Each structure stands twice: as C-alpha cells, then as structure tokens.
Structure 1
Amino acid sequence: MHYLRNFYEFVASLWHNKGLLWNLTKKDLKQRYVGSYLGILWAFIQPAITICIFWFVFQVGFKSMPVDNFPFILWLICGMFPWFFFSDALQAATSSIYNNSFLVKKVVFRVSLLPMIQILSALMVNMFFVAVLFLMFALYGYMPSIYNLQVFYYLFGSICLVFGLSLVTSSLVVFMKDVGQLVAMLIQFGFWGTPIFWSLKLIPESYQWVFKLNPMYYIIEGYRNSFIYHKWFWELGYTNISFWLFTVAAMLFGAFIFKTLRPHFADVL
C-alpha cells in the first residue's frame, strides 16, 4: 500500500501540472538544439542516418535476405524506431535532475516533472518516426490495417517502462554519478542483446525464453506483430505478463525511491 500511495501521489502531481509539463517540454526541445544551423532537425537526421548505415551494411553489404518474406528494411525499422525512443528517453531522463540542479534548489518547483519532460521530448521526436513507419510500409505496398493501431499500445508500454526506470536512475545519479555511465553501458549491451537487427530464431529454442524476458523484446516484437505478422498483443502469451509485471514494479519502486531521496537532492547538488 505504501508503494501504491507513493505512485498515486507522484502521478497526481504530474497531472495537476500538465500545463507546465507541456510548456517545459516544448522549451526543452528548442533549447536542446539551440545554436546549431539545422536546429531540431538534428533530432530526426541522426536516427535516420543510423538506419541508413545499418540498411547499407546488412542489405547491400551482407546481402541480407527478406525476413519472413518481408523486405529487410521494413523488418529493421520496426525494431530500430522503438529502440531509439527507449534509449534516448532513458539517457536524457537519467541526467534530468542532475543537469537541472538550479531548478531542484527552488522549493516551489516540482522536481518530479524533470524526468517526464525528457521522456515527452523524446516522444515528440518518436511520433515523427511512427509516421515514417506507416509511410514506409505504404511505399512498399503494405496498406494500413487495424493491427497497426497496436503501435500506440506498445508506445504507451514504452513510456511506462522508461518512466519507471528513469525514476530510479535519475534519483540515484544525483548521489552516484557512475549511474549515468552504467545506464549508457547497459543500453549499448541491450541494443546488441535485443533482437533488433537479428532474429530470435537464430537462438536455440531452449534459450529463447531468456531473451523474451527482456522488456524491450516485448515492445519490438509488438511493433513487428502490428505491422508485419498481424498478431494481437494478447497472443504473445506469458511475455505480456512478464513485461507488465516488470514495468509496474519499476514504476512503483521508482516512485518510492524518488520520494525517499527527493528531500536530499538540494543538499547533494
């Protein structure tokens, strides 16, 4: 009950300050690329270049064959786009409190908004790539279907996952700066350990359950089920349960950690 009350109070504070949250999110997007000639376009250019590099290496260089009779590039972006959101949002949210120490020391400011501001900034960029996802499939002749709408369910799941994890990491990094480096390292490891540009079918079936416990496997597989395999989310079996158990536990624990450490932020910063 204590964890639930902490989480309820935390979410309630976000809702009551939704106007301020939205304004700060727009301001963050503008400030992130201030001074550069292309401005916010860099938020879209960098992921697009990454996609092109992977496509060239695997499609042109290694002559990757279609995956399950779907063009490799379509299969690839279904994994890359949700990963871009997860990695960008988590890394930015992790450093959000530490990088805004001047706001933390203001008694009237809701510090709980800082991680969510970074998540929403990443979400706004990600929505562009969701639109690109629909466009790319249409260009290849795959028209939109009702299964595609599940992408918003998986996007919501991604937000909940990052939200819970960032509450923990953004709170701990104030006291242990190495947490930021640890998060970056785990994201790199997670990228190669998650079936983004390789298929889980390459792993012996007896070991596949280990990879399926990875919460980002659930999200990426969900994107592919929405656009390629046309499966509903409830058809994923125990991965539904494992993902939401992990995500809810992360959110509850994150709210508890944040509320416990919040009174000491200003002293350390």
Structure 2
Amino acid sequence: MLKIIEFFKEQWHHRHLIWKLSIYNIKSQYANHYLGAFWNILQPLLQVLIYFIVFGLGLRGDRGDVEGIPFLVYLISGLFPWLYIQQGINGASNAIQSQLSLVTKMKFPASVLLSTAILNGLFNLLLVTSIVMAISLWNGYSEPLHYLALLYFIFASSAVIFGISLIMSSLIIIIRDMKNILQNVIRMFFFMTPIFWSLSEANEILQTMASLNPFAYLLMNYRYAMVFEGGPLYGEMADHLYFWSLTVLLIYIGVQIHYRFKNKLVDYL
C-alpha cells in the first residue's frame, strides 16, 4: 500500500512536467501534417464511418434503433470512450520503451511517461466527447446534470489504464512477446465489449462475459452519462464493487512490478 501512495505522490509532484510533456507531444504529433491537430477529431470520425458502414449498413441492415437511440449515436458513444481506453493502454504500456533516449537521460521517474500518455488520450477524448454532447443536447437524449458522470468515467477508466499499463510497461521490456500479446488481447476485448452490439439483445454467454468485462462497465457508464435515459451511473452496487476491486488489484500488482524493475529496465533495453 505504501508503494501505491508513493507512486501517486510521484505523479502529483511532477504534475507540471506531465502537463508540459503532454502539450509538447500533442503539438509535435501532427506538426508536419497539413491538417495538424484536426486529425485528433478526423481520425476517430473516419473509424466511426468505417464501422457504421460495416455494422450499421451491412450486418445490421434495417434493424433500427439500439436501446432507444439511433445506431450511429450508439456506435459513437461506445467507440469514442473505447478509443480513449485503447490508446491509453497502448500508449502508456509502450511509453518507457518508445522513449528509450529520454529514459537513459532523465532525472524524473519513468512512471511520469505513463501519465503523459494517458493525459494525451484524455485531450482527444474531450474533443470527441464534445461531439457526443452536442448530439445529446440537440436530441434531448440525457439530462445535462448527468454529464457530470463523465468525470466518473474519466477517473475510473484512467485508474484501469494505470493498472494495466504499470504491469505491461515493464513486462513489454522484459519479455518482448508481451507487446504482441497485449495487442491481441485488446483486439479480443474490442469485440467482447458492447460497442456496436447491445447488452439487452445479446445472448446469455455474451451478457455473462460483459458482466466480467471492466471495459463494458466503463462504456456503459459513458453512455448513461451522455445518451441514455435514467442513470447517471450504470450498474448495481455489486458491479461497482467488482470493478473497483479488480482495478485496485491491477494497480497493486502494477506498482509492485514497476518498483521491482524500474532501476533495471535500461539493462533490459
């Protein structure tokens, strides 16, 4: 427990550095592109278009609305938060390995690079969420006060990303195969998470798998905050306890692995 407290103290102590590194990464990412930072919105919109053509117009046909909202709205309210989770896990898990030159010279904890990667993804999430919010307000899908539950989604999803990336950022360096394993596991969870399919229409096996899937919990909370009636939070007390027990366990394991190998990672690199 003391190591967990120490880890988050490191993040707070270096919060200004994390902010500066995030701003620098965002500016440099598309510095040589004509459209620049507009790609932060254009890229997820292009993915929405592809999945809408494949699943909305192709596989679904004329099956109509999903959970009382148009399929396109259902799709973006699942895909946008998923992209934040996916990019956060991939970016933070590979942050230390990809910043090899910085790791060997830096005078701050390597864990700061994980926070920087997560913060970069958060900027993109807020941009695309503004689109979802505009659609929601225009059509009156959710009550404006429920939008505050977006803060819960950000906090909960960031906690899960931290836990997973703390584990994987060390294992990817020590065991090179873990990078490929991580990508395939994330791809598997993409189809196991109700991004373009509905929990209410799924069979019992998928519903059971979704109840054990922390990403399904997160996506549904995003939808309840932004587009669904009722809410503002998804799930019962048992769902919340399961999610946070799993999250705390992941963070605990991740912190133990990180501090065990943090002074040896350069040797593995």
Give the TM-score band, short-chain normalised: over 0.9
Matches of residues 89-168 of structure 1 in structure 2 within 5 Å? 89-106=88-105, 108-142=107-141, 144-168=143-167
Are the counterparts in 2 of residues 103 and 109 from structure 1 also a CA contact under 8 Å?
no
Q: CA deviation at 1:45?
A: 1.1
Amino acid at match of 2:261: L
Residue 250 of structure 1: aligned partner: 250
Matches of residues 254-265 of structure 1 in structure 2 within 5 Å? 254-265=254-265
The 3 A distance-change label for structure 1 pair 196 and 250 is: same
Could you say what secondary structure the match of 1:233 adopts? Answer: coil
Are the counterparts in 2 of residues 104 and 265 from structure 1 also a CA contact under 8 Å?
no
Map Cα deviations across residues 208-249 of structure 1 (whole Å, 9 max, x no partner): 233211000111111222221321427523211111111111
Equivalent of 2:10 in 6, 10, 13: 13
Amino acid at match of 2:231: K
TM-score by length of 2: 0.92
Equivalent of 2:43 in 46, 57, 69: 46
Map Cα deviations across residues 13-39 of structure 1 (whole Å, 9 max, x no partner): 110111111001111112222322222
TM-score by length of 1: 0.92
The 3 A distance-change label for structure 1 pair 198 and 117 is: same
CA RMSD of aligned residues (A): 1.8
Residue 267 of structure 1: aligned partner: 267
Structure 1 regions of 5+ residues with no counterpart? none
Q: CA deviation at 1:57?
A: 3.3
Q: How many residues align?
A: 266
Amino acid at match of 2:173: V
Q: CA deviation at 1:206?
A: 6.5
Matches of residues 186-265 of structure 1 in structure 2 within 5 Å? 186-205=185-204, 208-226=207-225, 227-233=227-233, 235-265=235-265
Q: CA deviation at 1:67?
A: 1.4
Are the counterparts in 2 of residues 103 and 111 from structure 1 also a CA contact under 8 Å?
no
In the alignment, structure 1 residue 22 sits paired with structure 2 residue 43: no
Q: CA deviation at 1:135?
A: 0.6
Are the counterparts in 1 of residues 66 and 74 from structure 2 also a CA contact under 8 Å?
yes
Residue 73 of structure 1: aligned partner: 72
The answer to which of 79-88 and 148-157 deviates more is 148-157
Q: CA deviation at 1:177?
A: 1.7
Give the ranges of 4+ consecutive aligned residues of structure 1 lying more than 6 Å apart after TM superposition: none
Q: Distance in 1 between matches of 2:106 and 2:40?
A: 33
Q: Distance in 2 between matches of 1:27 and 1:168?
A: 26
Q: CA deviation at 1:102?
A: 1.6
Map Cα deviations across residues 34-72 of structure 1 (whole Å, 9 max, x no partner): 322222222221111111222233333423410132211
Are the counterparts in 2 of residues 134 and 144 from structure 1 also a CA contact under 8 Å?
no
Q: Distance in 1 between matches of 2:65 and 2:201?
A: 15
Map Cα deviations across residues 110-137 of structure 1 (whole Å, 9 max, x no partner): 2110111111001111111111110111
